[in-house]
């Protein structure tokens, strides 16, 4: 077998440190399969990892890439239910920017449509489902405020929340509004011109937040009685002041979660829930893959530049062999 290649991070730094290099092939441990990667996708966390601010959990390859799609080429001991040749996509702790990756079987999903486009689903589907359903218990008829509607997470969350029967309000820069309305958003707020908290005071049953500290006070203002704020990103800072009195008056809650560092058993449980509750929505076309562009994996540096500039709407895919 030819030696495999992966994108290594030569040293912490800008996109230019990402280098397509020959590396050691992965060996499947018991309960793992080897996936020959067809595509991976860029997630915001990959940019932090490149900067040296988000190391992979122990036992995970050092290459970036939290998701991939491809074909199973080898089975580790004890693997049942999957065969060599199966087309899969996978939630990863890292290592997706590579020609091959070892994946615990609990993190595999069948390809719900196009093989390449499937690379952009696992991370957003698992993050959005686990937070909107397991944590926030979003229900039909409720109003959800999704910050950063144009992101990979946002474009998926809008479609998922609509499919659930929620009313969807989202924030994004003006240039992305038409696309987000077309995806099903009921209202889009340009956060650069309008204070979302004024537009939403007391109206949001659930908020999916990616800004953290800079939005904390205004998110509490936007919460409805019994509202649930779920913070999944800290783009606006890690440390803020929480007005417990304001939260108490609304009987509200604040949760802060991360997917990557969870143990494999928890990831497997989320993947299983996603397969049961989200995959049928993708297979039926109720949720579509929103792909901004495809870039050859060896040119991952260019993909990181696109994402850093927020020039994209939806996912930026890194493809192999095209
Ligand atoms: N905790 C977890 O488990 C988990 C898992 C996955 C992702 N995340 C987090 O979720 C977020 C989205 O991830 P992603 O990979 O989908 O990101 P992404 O595609 O890179 O998108 C980032 C988005 O942030 C938006 N944005 C920037 N400033 C904003 C502001 N002040 N208000 C509202 N939106 C703003 C940008 O949109 P505009 O062009 O409209 O500014 C852009 O669409 C990231 O913070 C990521 O770290 C967390």
pLDDT in tens, 55-96: 998 899 999 999 999 999 999 999 999 999 999 999 999 999
How many angstroms does the Cα of residue 238 sit away from the middle of ligand 1? Answer: 14
Q: Tell me which of 199, 210, 237, 266 to substitute to probe ligand 1's pocket, judged by most ligand atoms within 8 Å of the beta carbon.
A: 210
Q: From the CA of 313, give the closest atom in ligand 1.
A: 43
How many angstroms does the Cα of residue 72 sit away from the middle of ligand 1? Answer: 31
Residue 196 within any structural domain of the chain: yes
How many angstroms does the Cα of residue 27 sit away from the middle of ligand 1? Answer: 34
Kindly report the protein residue whose alpha carbon is nearest to atom 25 of ligand 1: 148
Q: What is the CATH number of the domain that holds 97?
A: 3.90.180.10
Name the pLDDT band for 322 (thresholds 50, 70, 90).
low
Q: What is the CATH number of the domain that holds 144?
A: 3.40.50.720
Q: Are 232 and 124 in contact (CB under 8 A)?
A: no
Checking if the pLDDT of 3 tops 90, the result is no
Residue 263 within any structural domain of the chain: no
Q: Is the CB of 233 under 6 A from ligand 1?
A: yes
Average of pLDDT values for 285-290? 98
Residue 194 within any structural domain of the chain: yes
Average of pLDDT values for 41-65? 95
Name the pLDDT band for 155 (thresholds 50, 70, 90).
very high
Among 208, 237, 256, identify where a domain stops. Answer: 256
pLDDT of res. 125? 98
Q: Is the CB of 176 under 6 A from ligand 1?
A: yes
Q: Is the CB of 259 under 6 A from ligand 1?
A: yes
Residue 272 within any structural domain of the chain: no
Q: Is the CB of 138 under 6 A from ligand 1?
A: no
Checking if the pLDDT of 1 tops 70, the result is no
How many angstroms does the Cα of residue 11 sit away from the middle of ligand 1? Answer: 24
pLDDT tens for each residue of 169-188: 999 999 999 999 999 999 99
pLDDT tens for each residue of 290-302: 999 999 999 999 9
Domain co-membership, 250 together with 293: no
The number of domains in the chain is 2
pLDDT tens for each residue of 11-20: 999 999 999 9
Average of pLDDT values for 128-155? 98
Domain co-membership, 105 together with 186: no
Residue 158 within any structural domain of the chain: yes
Neighbours of 46 (CB within 10 A): 27
pLDDT tens for each residue of 103-129: 999 999 999 999 999 999 999 999 999
Q: Is the CB of 111 under 6 A from ligand 1?
A: no
Domain that holds residue 212: 125-256
pTM of the model: 0.98
pLDDT of res. 130? 98
Domain co-membership, 238 together with 303: no
Q: From the CA of 236, give the closest atom in ligand 1.
A: 31
């Amino acid at each position: 077998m030819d030696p495999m290649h992966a994108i290594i991070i030569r040293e912490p730094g800008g996109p230019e440190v990402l280098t397509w290099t020959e590396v050691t092939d992965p060996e499947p441990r018991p309960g793992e399969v080897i996936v020959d990667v067809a595509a991976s996708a860029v997630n915001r966390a990959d940019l932090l990892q490149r900067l040296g601010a988000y190391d992979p959990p122990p036992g995970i390859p050092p290459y970036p890439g939290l998701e991939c799609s491809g074909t199973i080429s080898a089975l580790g001991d004890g693997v049942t239910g999957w065969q060599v040749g199966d087309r899969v996509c996978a939630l990863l702790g890292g290592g997706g920017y590579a020609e091959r990756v070892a994946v615990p079987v609990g993190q595999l999903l069948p390809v719900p449509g196009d093989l390449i486009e499937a690379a952009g689903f696992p991370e957003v589907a698992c993050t959005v489902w686990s937070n909107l359903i397991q944590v926030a218990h979003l229900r039909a008829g409720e109003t959800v405020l999704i910050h950063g509607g144009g992101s990979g997470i946002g474009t998926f969350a809008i479609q998922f929340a609509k499919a659930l029967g929620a009313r969807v309000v989202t924030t994004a820069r003006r240039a992305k509004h038409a696309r987000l309305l077309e995806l099903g958003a009921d209202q889009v707020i340009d956060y650069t011109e309008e204070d979302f908290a004024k537009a939403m005071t007391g109206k949001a049953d659930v908020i999916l937040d990616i800004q953290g500290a800079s939005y904390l006070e205004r998110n509490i203002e936007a919460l409805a009685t019994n509202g649930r704020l779920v913070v999944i990103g800290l783009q606006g800072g890690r440390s803020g002041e929480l007005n417990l009195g304001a939260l108490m008056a609304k009987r509200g809650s604040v949760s802060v979660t991360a997917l990557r560092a969870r143990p494999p058993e928890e990831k497997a449980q989320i993947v299983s829930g996603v397969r049961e509750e989200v995959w049928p929505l993708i297979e039926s076309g109720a949720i579509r893959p929103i792909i901004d562009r495809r870039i050859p994996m060896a040119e991952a540096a260019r993909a990181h530049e696109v994402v850093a500039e927020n020039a994209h709407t939806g996912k930026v895919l890194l493809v192999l062999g095209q």
